[in-house]
Amino acid sequence: MPLLKTAYAQLDLIRQPDQPDEPLQAFDAADEYLLNHLAEQQLPASTRVLVLNDSFGALAVSLSGQCQLISSGDSYLGHLALEKNLTRNHQPFDSVTFVPASRPWQGPFDRVLIRVPKTLALLEEQLIRLQGHLAPGAQVIAAAMVKHLPRAAGDLLERYIGTMQASLAVKKARLLIATAQPRPIAISPYPTRYHLDAPAIELLNHANVFCREGLDIGTRAFLPHLPGNLGDARVADLGCGNGVLAIASALANPQAQYSLVDESYMAVQSAAENWQVALGDRPVTTRADDGLATQPADSLDVVLCNPPFHQQQVVGDFLAWRMFQQAREALVVGGALYIVGNRHLGYHSKLARLFRGVEQVAATPKFVVLKARK
């Protein structure tokens, strides 16, 4: 794989999760552009820098030891990549402080470096949270590949930070540079909430949660067909989002034991808060993780999953395939994975390669609900 070469360092970086013969780089021209722009400013080592949404650590690993640095984002896999890439490039894995997006950071910061996220609601929430955390004259510099940079990103910088200038494009990447100016105190529109009729619950959704404005149609197709009569089964909601599948299942299965897992810190935060509202003090485990990678083998009876089909801007079924493999390892013999998926994705044939029995539980014109038994 090519190295990331900037004025700060020459780095060998990997993506997460690991894939054999990984075809994609862990950095892009927007990372290079942002780092070289920052190097031209010749910032002193005392400069306090906040890095946001650094996908696989390209920015933070480059700047480690160059300034007073904090990295923050919503991806557990991004956090894992940061630690691995620090070690891979001969730096202590904990040499950069990482703050999950579900927790606050403490300024003041002299520079804020942002990789523009796919979900603009996350960018808006982060810019609102910067209120009171910017030093006088601080710069907020957002970077993206031009094809992934919506006009609304610049509008948000203008609204919440200050006058914004867009750079020339270099290698199809662009920077948006805003200098902190007095702005009216903004009230965050997040988290959002919506109601379900069956089950009758309200669901809270922090800014980066998938389908935060309403139930996605895949989950809507899945809910009526969740397994019943689970007794005291050990159940995992894999890729739990706001926790709706686990909560609906738990309401119908009062003795079952639940673990809610997602790689998004904001999703796990939302799921934990929604569980508390719907089920009170009923025991539950919630965690941000690389799927079921840390789940002991043969420790689950049921896995519920509405698998994702993209990682950031990259579309594909590699994450779903990995989740299916993890589920198989974690399930006991005779245990079952229940999923919903678009018909065209062909999950039935993929599951048949891993499980001894796959059956269609239900179908709509667009989705299928499948049960795969180990």
* Domain ranges within the chain, ordered by starting residue: 4-179, 192-373
d(CA 141, CA 205): 27
d(CA 246, CA 224): 13
pLDDT in tens, 183-203: 999 999 999 999 999 899 999
pTM: 0.95
Q: What is the pLDDT of residue 315?
A: 46
Q: Do domains 4-179 and 192-373 have the same CATH topology?
A: yes
**Torsion sign over Cα 131, 133, 138, 140:** negative
Helices 265-279, 244-252: inter-axial angle, 10-degree rounding: 30
Ranges under pLDDT 50 in the chain: 311, 313-315
Strands 314-315 and 310-311: antiparallel
Going across the sheet that includes 68-73, the strands are 97-100, 68-73, 48-52, 109-115, 134-145, 173-179, 164-166
CATH topology of domain 4-179: Rossmann fold (3.40.50)
Q: What is the pLDDT of residue 72?
A: 98
Name which CATH class applies to 192-373.
alpha beta
Nearest by Cα to 76 from 306, 262, 242? 262
d(CA 112, CA 48): 9
